[in-house]
Chains A and B, each alone.
Chain A
Amino acid sequence: MQSSPEPLTILIAEDSAADRLLLSTIVRRQGHQVLTAANGAEAVEVYSQQRPHLVLMDAMMPVMDGFEAAQKIKQLAGDQLVPIIFLTSLTESEGLARCLEAGGDDFLAKPYNQVILAAKIKAMDRLRRLQATVVEQRDQIARHHDYLLNEQRVAKAVFDKIAHSGCLSAPNIRYLQSPYALFNGDLLLAAFNPAGDMHILLGDFTGHGLPAAVGAMPLAEVFYGMTAKGYGLAQILREMNAKLKRILPVDMFCCATLLSMSFQRCTVEVWNGGMPDGYLHDSLSGVRTPLPARHLPLGVLTPQLFDDRTEVHPLSVGDRVFLLSDGVIETSDRDDQPFGVERLQQVFSANREPDRLFEDIQQALRDFRGEARDDFSMVEVRLVAPTQLNPPPPVYSDSGQSSPLDWSVSFEFRAQTLKRFNPMPYLLQLLLEVHGLRAQSGALYNVLSELYSNALEHGVLGLDSSLKRDATGFARYYQERNARLDELGDGHVRVHLHVTPQGDGGRLVIEVEDSGKGFDVAKVLARPLDRDRLSGRGVSLVRQLCHQASWSDDGRNARVEFFWEALS
């Protein structure tokens, strides 16, 4: 006689005393502990108090028969499996079927065969232990799941604090994003730079869940930090790419489209790495120009190979730039057909009210798929007059006691530096050490950038600004700019800054000189201040934004002044 490896507690419910005695003895001899009951009600009572591992149940018993007792015991057991073996001398198949229907797991015919009984007990116990393992693992999985959900909640809370330090609520931005976009890898950021330009990033990280979300935080920090300091798109892109390349695992990256929209210059600068086409919507003609991906996503290429070249497009007030994540294009219907770019184009063509573009797209997706989806992102940015926006003033963390009030500095940036380095953020940071100038940081940045870019592009590179008379000309201008910059061998731009006290306040003089050929100053200054022409805006802008703008040395030297009163 073989004993089971592990002694079980077995309940024997049998109304016939002799059979009960016999069965108890057999089961005890097999190494188990025995509990007995003489009817169904007693069986249920003993089970609920002692919780045996297994039950041998006579089918026909007085008070409560075996079938009812079995059902009640199974209910009491809940998740756990308590195997019930019916003891029966029922031979009709109906009777046997009843046993199984009642929740029995097996049956044993009378007269009892010990060998068969031992085998069945062993088999049932194996099942019982399997069920117990499954239930335990299920509970473990549920605990882990709750733990992960909580981690995600925390991650999202931290990220929301970072993400909402931007300007997505500006009046010229409209966007649609799922509350759990972060965990789909979708990222949407917007911020003003010191010039009042708006930087926007729509990104899509590979992966889902926390791995997708974790890359978003360092990226957002770079985006906000550098934008606030006045860095241009190219520098921000280089830094973001290098950071992601460094910190993300090899197979992870971030597709992204970046925009810099200037309300002063009426342009938008675009970089698209791996995202679906964006669209530039001309409000007058209704034409939508695609802005395709010309670059690899962020985090793929090493810094040496990364291409930070952007495209610049002219805009009129009312024009819009529309970006979307690939969740829209890849929405599929019941046959797994994707929505696709063609259908999107159809929505564009059919769209009569530009303000309803989002609704039209969502409706088209609903019609296509048969249900609503929220795992995609869309954003639309309109060019408006600068007066319609209220960029928040920058926040400074120092007390104002150590403001430098009487100093001068000169820089000379030569050809190799001009190619890859934008000195604007550093010069601005330097000037903002002077507390009196902080209130004018927007104008300062705009003027300095304008003077520098004029010196570089028209002066050193010799580009003709009249090329920028229309959209095609614009594109050619910037292509030519990049080409000439790549080939630049010599030339320089010098920047001189002089800060002196004046009365209770002070004066800043900025001089920018270049090594170029100069221009006919009198002719340019004679033109009226014309805000609608695409070219020649630079000089107008400078004249509008500061005191005493003057050009000398045949246009190679530009000089401007800023004043401030005593601070209260």
Chain B
Amino acid sequence: MSEIHLDLDVLSTLKEVMEDGYPELLDTFLKDSEARLRVLHEARDAEMLSATAHSFKGSSSNMGAIRLAELCGELEQRAKQPSLRGIESLVNEIDSEFAHVRTLCREEREGFHC
């Protein structure tokens, strides 16, 4: 499991691509992700869980949130198993990893204006 919360190289490429749109991108990512987390907590059927985790994996990897993406990938696979036992703890782990990523994103946002 990767220890990279937010890959600086990826961020630097994103900055170059987005230019002035960089803050908007960060904001959109955070907003999207919060909505997804809610779904993960409330989801009752495994297919919804797996699809949401898949989607979250995709956008996290685009942002360079490597560890977060990997955790989502694990959730995606676990949700396809017949038994959903222990899935709660994985969702919680995603929760806390995202919290970390969110902090770093907000720092990035601050740093960008300077």
Chain A residues with CB under 8 A of B25: 18, 21-22, 25
A10 to chain B, nearest CB (A): 16
B78 at the interface (CB under 8 A from A): no
**When the two chains form their complex, are residues A25 and B54 in contact, meaning their CB atoms are under 8 A apart?**
no
A413 at the interface (CB under 8 A from B): no
Chain A residues with CB under 8 A of B14: 22
- Across the two chains, which residue of chain A brings its CB closest to B26? A18
The digit string for B82-96, where 1 denotes a CB below 8 A from any CB of A, is: 000000000000000
**When the two chains form their complex, are residues B32 and A111 in contact, meaning their CB atoms are under 8 A apart?**
no
- Across the two chains, which residue of chain A brings its CB closest to B7? A111
The digit string for B17-43, where 1 denotes a CB below 8 A from any CB of A, is: 110010011001101110000000000
**When the two chains form their complex, are residues B61 and A111 in contact, meaning their CB atoms are under 8 A apart?**
yes
Alpha-carbon separation in the docked complex, A21 to B32 (Å)? 12
**When the two chains form their complex, are residues B29 and A18 in contact, meaning their CB atoms are under 8 A apart?**
yes
Alpha-carbon separation in the docked complex, A89 to B68 (Å)? 14
Q: Assuming the A-B contacts A29-B17, A111-B10, are A19 and B31 also in contact, with contact meaning beta carbons closer than 8 angstroms in the complex?
A: no
A514 at the interface (CB under 8 A from B): no
A-B contact count (CB 8 A): 52
A20 to chain B, nearest CB (A): 9
A60 at the interface (CB under 8 A from B): yes
**When the two chains form their complex, are residues B63 and A18 in contact, meaning their CB atoms are under 8 A apart?**
yes
A98 to chain B, nearest CB (A): 14
**When the two chains form their complex, are residues A17 and B17 in contact, meaning their CB atoms are under 8 A apart?**
no
Chain A CB within 10 Å, residue with most, of B10, B14, B32, B62 = B62
Chain B residues with CB under 8 A of A114: 13, 17
**When the two chains form their complex, are residues A17 and B54 in contact, meaning their CB atoms are under 8 A apart?**
no
Residue in B24, B33, B55 whose CB lies within 8 Å of A15? B55
Chain A residues with CB under 8 A of B21: 21, 25
Which B37-76 residues have C-beta < 8 A from chain A?
Answer: 51, 54-55, 57-59, 61-64
Residue in B13, B31, B54, B62 whose CB lies within 8 Å of A60? B54
**When the two chains form their complex, are residues A89 and B31 in contact, meaning their CB atoms are under 8 A apart?**
no
A356 at the interface (CB under 8 A from B): no
**When the two chains form their complex, are residues B17 and A26 in contact, meaning their CB atoms are under 8 A apart?**
yes
**When the two chains form their complex, are residues A110 and B17 in contact, meaning their CB atoms are under 8 A apart?**
no
Q: Assuming the A-B contacts A25-B17, A111-B10, are A16 and B24 also in contact, with contact meaning beta carbons closer than 8 angstroms in the complex?
A: no
Alpha-carbon separation in the docked complex, A112 to B18 (Å)? 14
- Across the two chains, which residue of chain B brings its CB closest to A23? B62
Main secondary structure of the interface of A (DSSP, over half): helix
A492 to chain B, nearest CB (A): 110
Residue in B18, B51, B54 whose CB lies within 8 Å of A22? B18
A199 to chain B, nearest CB (A): 87
Chain B residues with CB under 8 A of A22: 14, 17-18, 25, 62
Q: Assuming the A-B contacts A17-B28, A21-B25, are A112 and B62 also in contact, with contact meaning beta carbons closer than 8 angstroms in the complex?
A: yes
Q: Assuming the A-B contacts A16-B32, A60-B51, are A111 and B24 also in contact, with contact meaning beta carbons closer than 8 angstroms in the complex?
A: no
Chain B residues with CB under 8 A of A18: 25, 28-29, 32-33, 59, 62-63
Alpha-carbon separation in the docked complex, A112 to B58 (Å)? 10
Alpha-carbon separation in the docked complex, A98 to B74 (Å)? 22
**When the two chains form their complex, are residues A19 and B17 in contact, meaning their CB atoms are under 8 A apart?**
no
The digit string for A26-49, where 1 denotes a CB below 8 A from any CB of B, is: 100100000000000000000000
Chain B CB within 10 Å, residue with most, of A17, A18, A60 = A18
**When the two chains form their complex, are residues A16 and B55 in contact, meaning their CB atoms are under 8 A apart?**
yes
Alpha-carbon separation in the docked complex, A110 to B51 (Å)? 15
Chain A residues with CB under 8 A of B57: 89
Chain A residues with CB under 8 A of B32: 16-18
Chain B residues with CB under 8 A of A21: 21, 24-25, 28
Chain B residues with CB under 8 A of A26: 17
Which A60-104 residues have C-beta < 8 A from chain B?
Answer: 60, 89
B30 to chain A, nearest CB (A): 8
- Across the two chains, which residue of chain B brings its CB closest to A62? B51
Alpha-carbon separation in the docked complex, A492 to B57 (Å)? 115
**When the two chains form their complex, are residues B54 and A19 in contact, meaning their CB atoms are under 8 A apart?**
no
Q: Assuming the A-B contacts A17-B28, A114-B17, are A89 and B63 also in contact, with contact meaning beta carbons closer than 8 angstroms in the complex?
A: no
**When the two chains form their complex, are residues A89 and B54 in contact, meaning their CB atoms are under 8 A apart?**
yes
Chain B residues with CB under 8 A of A15: 55
**When the two chains form their complex, are residues A89 and B17 in contact, meaning their CB atoms are under 8 A apart?**
no
Chain B residues with CB under 8 A of A29: 17
Residues of A within 8 A of B (CB): 15-19, 21-22, 25-26, 29, 60, 89, 110-112, 114
Residues of B within 8 A of A (CB): 10, 13-14, 17-18, 21, 24-25, 28-29, 31-33, 51, 54-55, 57-59, 61-64
A-B contact pairs, 5 of them (CB 8 A): A19-B62, A21-B24, A21-B28, A22-B14, A25-B18
